[in-house]
Amino acid sequence: MVQIATEDLLRALKRCKGIAKQELLIKESTQFNEARKAHAEARREIYTKLIDLVETSDIENACAFAFKEYQNLSESCTDDPTEKGRFQALEMFFNVLGINQNQLNEFITNHIDIFQLLSMDTQPSIDLCMQ
């Protein structure tokens, strides 16, 4: 069973947030500049929220927030750069935990909520969300 320490998760999230911030600082002018900035800002906001949840609460609450947001964004499927940025940040969060996109889609398709996932003994990757 794979587990991730809170410090390791925070370090990964802070690194991802830093990358998003660096993208906001790029000054080159392109036709996609506003979309790129909206995408990066959305990722940075999600990472900030996840970091706050992990620091003030626990990994389980961060997982609950992330899974609910991921479900909502999966249902909307728009080309909006803000939504795409949020979606990408949430996928990265789950990747850090060892849960890939196929698993997430399976959970959503089968209407499994995060609390069912967190209590399942048969899903080894779910234990990653519990500290």
- Tens of pLDDT, residue by residue over 89-123, are 999 999 998 888 888 888 888 877 766 665 554 34
Read off the pLDDT of residues 14-48 as tens digits, 9 standing for 90 and up. 999 999 999 988 877 777 888 999 999 999 999 99
Global pTM?
0.82
What's the chain look like in SS3? Answer: CCCCCHHHHHHHHHHHHHHHHHHHCCCCCCCCHHHHHHHHHHHHHHHHHHHHHHHHCCHHHHHHHHHHHHHHHHHHCCCCHHHHHHHHHHHHHHHHHCCCHHHHHHHHHCCCCHHHHHHCCCCHHHHHHCC
So where are the chain's domains?
Answer: 6-122
